[in-house]
Structure 1
Amino acid sequence: MNSSKKLFEKAKEIIPGGVNSPVRAFGSVEMDPIFIKKAKGSYIYDVEDNKYIDYISSWGPMIFGHGDEELNNVAIEALKYGISYGVPSAVEVEMAEIITDAYKGCEMVRMVNSGTEATMSAIRTARGYTKKDKIIKFEGCYHGHSDCLLVKSGSGTLTYNVTTSLGVPQDFVKNTIVCEFNNIKSVKDAIEQNKNEIACVIIEPVPGNMGVVIPDMDFMNDLRNITEENNILLIFDEVITGFRLSYGGAAKVFNIVPDMVCFGKIIGGGLPVGAYGGKKEIMSVVSPLGAVYQAGTLSGNPLAMSIGIAALKKLRNNPQIYDGLEKKAIKLEEGFNKNIEKTGINAKVVRYKSMLTIFFTEKSVNSYADVMNSDTKMYAKYFKGMLDSGILLPPSQFEVMFMNQALSDEDIDFTIESNLKVLSSI
C-alpha cells in the first residue's frame, strides 16, 4: 500500500499542489496531508490503516456519519436506473418539492452541481431581477470561487477592487463591496454611498469559513429590514448551514425569510450538488422562463437527487437528530472549556448548534478581525497533537468541526481526554 507521503509526492507532479482543493494540502497546519482509504460511521482511515475520529464530516454533509446503510441502499438502487439522463426526471421534481416545502420563502429552486455554482447563479439572478450591478458581501464569509466573490477586505469599513486571487480582472470585482460581519453600520454606509446601485447582499448566516462566528441577531434582523427598505435582495448562503442547523436551515432558526437562498453539500447526501432558489417572481427571470442564463448537463442528476431525497426525508422524519447533534457539540464544548481552564492556555471555543471551532486567542471572537488575531502556529501544534492521538480535525484554524450522528459518547470522551493532553503539551 502506498503511504500518504509517497502519494503526495506523486500527486504534486500531476495535480496542482498535490490536492484538488487547497485546504486539503494541510499547509495551514505545516505538515503533509494524510490520504484517505475509507470511512465508516464516525471514523476515517488513511492509506496506512490509521484510524481517526472524524470531525470534518466532509465539511458538513455527513450528518449521519460515513457510509449510512439507508443512504447506501438508496444509492445502489438508483445506480440500476442510470446516473445521468440529460433530460428531466421525476426525482428532480421530488427534490424541488421537498426543498420548497421545507424552506420558507423558497418558492422555486434550480439544481446545480456545487455551492460555487449556486452562489454565482443566485447573484446573476439578483442582478438580472433588480437590473442593478453592485453587490455586498462580508469579510470572512466565503461563497465559492467565482470571480466577483474573490474579494478581500482591507482595514477600512468598505473596500473595493482588491482581489484575493490572481487571474481575476479588477473589472470583475469593481462592483463588489465588502462590509464587516456583525457591523450593521458598515452596511448602512455602503448603501448610503451606493444609492439604488446595489442588487443584493449575500451572507453566510452562520459563517463557517473563518471558523464559527455567532451572528448578532440585532444585526441579522436589521440587515433584513435595511435590504427590504432599499429594494435590495437578501441572499442567505446556506451551503453549509442549510439542513444542518435545522430542517428549515438558519432561516428557520432565526425566523428571517431571505429573498434567495443557496444550498449545497447536505441536499445531495454528500454527493456533488448545489441549488439556488427564492421567491417565484425572482426565480422567474431564470432561463428558459426569463433572460438570466444558467445551465448544467449534470444538474439534478438522478443519483445525487435520489440520495439527497433520502437524506432530507430522514432529517424531516427524525427531528430529534438535530437535538442529538447539538448535545454532542455541547458536551465537546463543555469538555474543551474545562480543559482550557485547567491548562490556562489562551483559547476560546465558539459553538453554534452542531458547528464548533477552538480559536487560539485570548479575546472573544465576534468578527473577522477577532478571528485574525488567532495564533495559527499554536493551532498547527494542536492539530498535529490531536492527529497523533487519532483525531482528525479541520486542517486550518479558520474552519469548523462538524458533529455527526455516528459519534459515540466514547468518541467524545476520548476527544476531550486527548484535548487535555495536547493542550497540556503545546
Structure 2
Amino acid sequence: MSRNKELFEHSQHFIPGGVNSPVRAFGSVGGTPIFFKSAQGSKLWDEDGKEYIDFINSWGPMILGHAHPEVIQAVQDVAKDSLSFGAPTARELEMAQEIVKIVPSIEQVRLVSSGTEATMSAIRVARGFTGRDKIVKFEGCYHGHADALLVKAGSGALTFGQPSSAGVPADVAKDTLTLSYNNVEELQQLFDQQGDDIACVILEPVVGNMNLIVPSEEFLNTLRSVTEKHGAVLIFDEVMTGFRVSLGGAQELFGITPDMTTLGKVIGGGLPVGAFGGRKEIMQTLAPLGPVYQAGTLSGNPVAVAAGLKTLELIQTKGFFESLSQQTKKLTDGLTDAAKELGIKFCARSVGGMFGLYFSEQPPNSFQDVMTSDREKFNAFFHEMLSQGIYFGPSAFEAGFVSAQHSDEDINFTIECAKKAFQKI
C-alpha cells in the first residue's frame, strides 16, 4: 500500500473525512488525496517520494515558490525571540504601513489570522458603519466559512454540491442577498428596490472559487456607482487576488477603488495572516475607538508577519509581475493550443499569476456558465496529469496559481503532459 493511501485511511479515524479542509479530500475528482512531505521552488514531494510541479502553491500564497531562502531566514530570525506575544510589535506597524502604501483603497488596516476572519470582520464593520443589516454577495463567490457568507458559496461547498451549509440558521442567512456575478441588470434592479437598506456588497474582484471568472468593466463600474449612490460599503475580497494579479491587487488592475478590502495568503508568505482595511472613517468605528468589536490573540503574529513582510519586499522587485504574468499566460496559451490541435473542447485564461482551466468552448462569466462545463472530462484530465507529476487543484471549481519559480522547463513539460492527457480522456 502506498504511504499516501495508508495515511489517508488512518486519518479518517481521527479527522472528519481524513482532511482538515474539504477540497483536500478529492471528493470532486475521486481517488486518494496526496500527503506532501516537502517542497522547494516550483516542486512538491509526497510521502511516497514522488515529485510534482505545483500549480496550487498552497492556494496562492507561495508566490515566490516554496521554501524561499530569504523568507525562511526571516522566519528563523524572528522565531528565536518568541513565537507569540499577544501584545503589539514593531513588525505589525511595518506590515500596516506596507499594506497602506501598496493597496489603493486602504488608509488604515487591522491584521487578523485568516481570510475568513478578515471578511467576517469587514462585514461587521460595514454594518456598524452604515447601521444597516442587509449584505449582498454573488453566487459562486466564497468569502470564508462565516455563517452569513455560506449562502450559495463557491469552492469546497460547490465541490460537494452544497450551495449553502447545514448549521447556518435561517435567521442568520435571511439578510444575505445573492446575485449572479457579472449580471448588471440584476444588480441595478436590487439597488433600485432595496439600496437604502444594504450595508455592503462583497465580491471577489477576480473570482477564484468557482474557477477563474473575470468581471466585466460594466459590472465593476455599476457596482461602484450604485454603492456610492446608496451609501453602501463596497468590499473587495482580495484574499486571493491581493498581490497576485498585480502589486496593488485587482483594484489597481481595474482602476476601481472599493471602500474596504480584505487580504490574506500572500501577506503571510505561507503562514496564517489576514487583514482588512479601508477608508479611515470606516475603520475608526472599530474598538477601542468605536462601537464595533473585533479582537484576536494571535492577530499580527510576529513569525507570520515576518514571512509576509519579506514576501512583500521581494515581490516589489522590478519586473516581478510582468514576468509572473507572462509565465502564467504561457501556460494557459500552451494548454489551449494543445487541446485545439487535438479537437478537445477546452480553454484556459489567466490574470496575473492566477489561471483557470475549463472544459468548455468559452471561458465562463458566471456560476451558471461554470456549471455547464464538462466536469467528468476535468476529473479524467486531473488524474492523467497527476500521474505524470503535475499537481492542479483537485476540483473543477478552483483557480490555479503560478509562482516566480515556475521555469520555462516547468511550463513546457506541463504542456507536453497535457497533450498526452488530452489524447487519453
Structure 1 and Structure 2 fold alike (TM over 0.5): yes
For residues 291-306 of structure 1, what are the structure 2 equivalents within 5 Å? 291-306=291-306
**2:130 is the counterpart of 1:143:** no
Deviation at 1:378, TM superposition (A): 1.0
Rounded Cα–Cα distance in structure 2 between residues aligned with 1:249 and 1:32: 35
Rounded Cα–Cα distance in structure 1 between residues aligned with 2:39 and 2:282: 41
Deviation at 1:184, TM superposition (A): 1.4
Rounded Cα–Cα distance in structure 2 between residues aligned with 1:171 and 1:319: 50
Deviation at 1:193, TM superposition (A): 2.4
Rounded Cα–Cα distance in structure 1 between residues aligned with 2:362 and 2:84: 50
Rounded Cα–Cα distance in structure 1 between residues aligned with 2:16 and 2:190: 38
Equivalent position of 1:401 in the other structure: 400
Equivalent position of 1:73 in the other structure: 73
Deviation at 1:363, TM superposition (A): 4.2
Question: Which segment is superposed worse, 135-144 or 192-201?
Answer: 192-201
Equivalent position of 1:251 in the other structure: 251
Q: TM-score, normalised on structure 2?
A: 0.96
Rounded Cα–Cα distance in structure 2 between residues aligned with 1:220 and 1:315: 27
**2:353 is the counterpart of 1:354:** yes
SS at match of 2:199: strand
Equivalent position of 1:333 in the other structure: 332
Rounded Cα–Cα distance in structure 2 between residues aligned with 1:290 and 1:403: 41
Equivalent position of 2:50 in the other structure: 50
Equivalent position of 2:60 in the other structure: 60
Equivalent position of 2:159 in the other structure: none
Deviation at 1:422, TM superposition (A): 0.3
Equivalent position of 1:227 in the other structure: 227
**2:241 is the counterpart of 1:209:** no
Which ranges of structure 1 fall in alignment gaps of 5 or more residues? 154-161
Paired residues of 2:344 and 2:422 also in contact (CA < 8 A) = yes
Which ranges of structure 2 fall in alignment gaps of 5 or more residues? 154-161
Deviation at 1:113, TM superposition (A): 0.4
Equivalent position of 1:196 in the other structure: 196
SS at match of 1:14: coil
Residue type of the alignment partner of 2:27: G
Question: What are the superposed Cα offsets for residues 3-61 of structure 1, whole Å, 9 maximum, x if unpaired?
Answer: 01010011101001000000000111111101001111100010000000000000011
SS at match of 1:253: helix
Rounded Cα–Cα distance in structure 2 between residues aligned with 1:231 and 1:201: 11
Paired residues of 2:329 and 2:349 also in contact (CA < 8 A) = no
Rounded Cα–Cα distance in structure 1 between residues aligned with 2:21 and 2:416: 31
Equivalent position of 2:156 in the other structure: none
Equivalent position of 2:158 in the other structure: none
Equivalent position of 1:168 in the other structure: 168
Question: What are the superposed Cα offsets for residues 389-421 of structure 1, whole Å, 9 maximum, x if unpaired?
Answer: 111010000101101011111111100000011
The percentage of counterpart residues that share the same residue type is 49
Paired residues of 2:348 and 2:363 also in contact (CA < 8 A) = no
**2:64 is the counterpart of 1:94:** no
Deviation at 1:163, TM superposition (A): 6.6
Residue type of the alignment partner of 2:382: F
Deviation at 1:362, TM superposition (A): 3.0
Paired residues of 2:113 and 2:272 also in contact (CA < 8 A) = yes
Equivalent position of 2:109 in the other structure: 109
Rounded Cα–Cα distance in structure 2 between residues aligned with 1:248 and 1:333: 23
Deviation at 1:2, TM superposition (A): 7.1
Structure 1 consecutive aligned stretches of length 4 or more whose deviation exceeds 4 Å: none
Paired residues of 1:213 and 1:350 also in contact (CA < 8 A) = no
Residue type of the alignment partner of 1:393: F
Aligned residues: 417
Residue type of the alignment partner of 1:92: E
